[in-house]
């Protein structure tokens, strides 16, 4: 595998993981993912920025030999999670003179997680610089996108920023620089939904900071790199997704055991669409969680459709509500529609799960068995309430 040239002094030495079908055992991938690693060559020193997912360590180290990299002075660890730090011990072993250069939080993590010896770590602070001989690396702490240990590294002379997970995507590639497409946008959005959306305000802050820096190249740790028109592409996507305002979209995840909840969901969908509101109806049992995550990025309202199981909400609906609560989308309103057989509490657990979003709850509708005339009237009220909420935000 030949390393690919990014700039005069930067080489890409990452690996495509075409076979990976799920990330964090949570979000299905359409197009695999990549683990990006970079080599920066100064006149005197050579640095590696982030390393490799442990599964690929052997292939990664072999590629250094194949590309004639016979010494490494510094291993810059922008983040301690093992898809980037996992090959640090092997790299230290291969290059006995190398030191890991990183912040105190990453240092603590790699000592605990990878047993990296303290005397092989050089701890830096915010805005500290490292001279490679004619090339200077500047370290910018960026806690919260997405771990407390995250930092960015700027190659000053070439105006290249290495942002680790921030601005990354699940998208394998042949050409290292991003070519904007719907497929890539979905890979970036799915990645944003799982990894960055829980930290939306910090993502917004660092997007603005990177725009202000006016960099020439962005090198994340997953997915392609960005330059020229790609810079505007990635930054404007992040500006859109991190904005406080959602889209004129209702996300309607539902689980229906005997068809009653589905009938209610269909009715609500039809009513909302008739009022000019976009609806993404999501079958909780058969749907792709990636589609749900993508819709969560933009939805202004979430309506959960829930069947009762054993006096409580269906566990699959609870799972989706919990995930929504964890990912903290920008949705401002939420409601629940549901059906039960003999009794129980349908809504409390769902409301508890989505509480981190702090939504305004629009009056839920619960029916026994199949929805009847009075129930449809209540659903009409719900649809109208959501319409008024969206109208008040200027969305319709
Ligand atoms: Fe791609 Fe937080 O690791």
Write the DSSP string, 108-153.
Answer: HHHHHHH---GGGEEE--TT-EEE-SS-EEEEEE-TTSSSTT-EEE
Residues with CB under 6 A from ligand 1: 79, 81, 83-84, 146, 165, 221-222
Instruction: Check: CB of residue 36 under 8 Å from CB of residue 192.
Output: no
Is the pTM higher than 0.85? Answer: yes
- The Cα-based distances of 32 to 29, 171, 394 in angstroms read 6, 6, 38
pLDDT of residue 319: 96
Please give the Cα distance from 110 to 106 (Å, whole number): 6
Average pLDDT rounded to a whole number, residues 46-62? 97
Q: Is-contact 356 326, C-beta < 8 A? A: yes
pLDDT at 180: 95
In which band, very low, low, confident or very high, does the pLDDT at 207 lie, cut at 50, 70 and 90? very high
Between the CA of 20 and the centroid of ligand 1 the distance, in Å, is: 15
| 263 Cα–ligand 1 center, Å | 41
In angstroms, the CA 177 to CA 216 distance is 12
Q: How far, in Å, is the centroid of ligand 1 from the Cα of 37?
A: 12
Q: Are 223 and 168 in contact (CB under 8 A)?
A: yes
Instruction: Return the residue whose CA atom lies nearest to atom 2 of ligand 1.
Output: 81
Looking from the CA of 378 toward its CB, the CA atoms found within 13 Å total 17
Task: Specify which residues 35 forms β-bridges with.
Answer: 15
Rounded to the nearest angstrom, the distance between the alpha carbon of 207 and the centre of ligand 1 is 18
Q: Which residue, among 162, 144, 147, has the nearest Cα to 226 in the 3D structure?
A: 162
pLDDT band at 344 (very low <50, low <70, confident <90, very high): confident
Q: What does the pLDDT read at residue 358?
A: 96
Residue 27 is predicted with a pLDDT of: 85
Per-residue exposure over 191-228, b if at least 16 CB sit within 10 Å of its own CB, e if not: bbbbbbbbbbebbbebbeebeeeebebbbbbbbbbbbe
């Amino acid at each position: 595998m030949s390393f690919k040239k990014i700039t005069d002094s930067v080489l890409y030495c990452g690996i495509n993981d075409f076979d990976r079908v799920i990330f964090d055992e949570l979000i299905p991938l359409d197009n695999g993912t990549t683990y990006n690693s970079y080599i920066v060559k100064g006149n005197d020193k050579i640095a590696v920025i982030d390393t490799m997912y442990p599964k690929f360590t052997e292939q990664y180290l072999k590629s250094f030999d194949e590309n004639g990299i016979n010494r490494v002075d510094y291993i810059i660890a922008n983040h301690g999670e093992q898809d980037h730090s996992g090959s640090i011990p092997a790299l230290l072993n291969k290059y006995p003179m190398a030191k890991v250069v990183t912040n105190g939080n990453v240092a603590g993590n790699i000592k605990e997680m990878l047993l990296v010896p303290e005397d092989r770590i050089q701890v830096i602070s915010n805005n500290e610089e490292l001279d490679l001989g004619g090339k200077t690396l500047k370290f910018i702490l960026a806690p919260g996108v997405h771990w407390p240990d995250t930092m960015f590294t700027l190659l000053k002379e070439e105006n290249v920023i290495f942002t680790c997970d921030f601005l990354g995507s699940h998208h394998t590639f042949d050409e290292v620089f991003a070519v904007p497409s719907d497929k890539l946008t979905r890979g970036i959005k799915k990645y944003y939904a799982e990894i960055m959306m829980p930290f939306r305000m910090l993502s917004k802050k660092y997007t603005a900071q990177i725009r202000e820096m006016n960099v020439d190249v962005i090198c994340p740790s997953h997915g392609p790199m960005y330059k020229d028109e790609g810079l505007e592409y990635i930054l404007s996507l992040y500006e859109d997704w991190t904005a406080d305002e959602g889209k004129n979209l209702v996300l309607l995840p539902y689980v229906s055991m005997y068809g009653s909840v589905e009938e209610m969901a269909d009715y609500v969908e039809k009513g909302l669409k008739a009022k000019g509101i976009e609806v993404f109806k999501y079958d909780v049992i058969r749907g792709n969680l990636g589609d749900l995550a993508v819709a969560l990025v933009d939805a202004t309202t979430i309506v959960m459709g829930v069947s009762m199981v054993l006096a409580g909400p269906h566990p699959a609906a609870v799972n989706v509500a919990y995930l929504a609560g964890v990912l903290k989308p920008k949705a401002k309103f939420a409601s629940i529609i549901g059906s039960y057989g003999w009794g129980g509490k349908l809504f409390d657990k769902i409301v508890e799960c989505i509480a981190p979003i702090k939504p305004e709850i629009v009056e839920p509708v619960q029916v026994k068995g199949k929805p009847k005339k009075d129930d449809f009237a209540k659903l009409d009220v719900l649809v109208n309430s959501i319409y008024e909420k969206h109208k008040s935000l200027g969305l319709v």
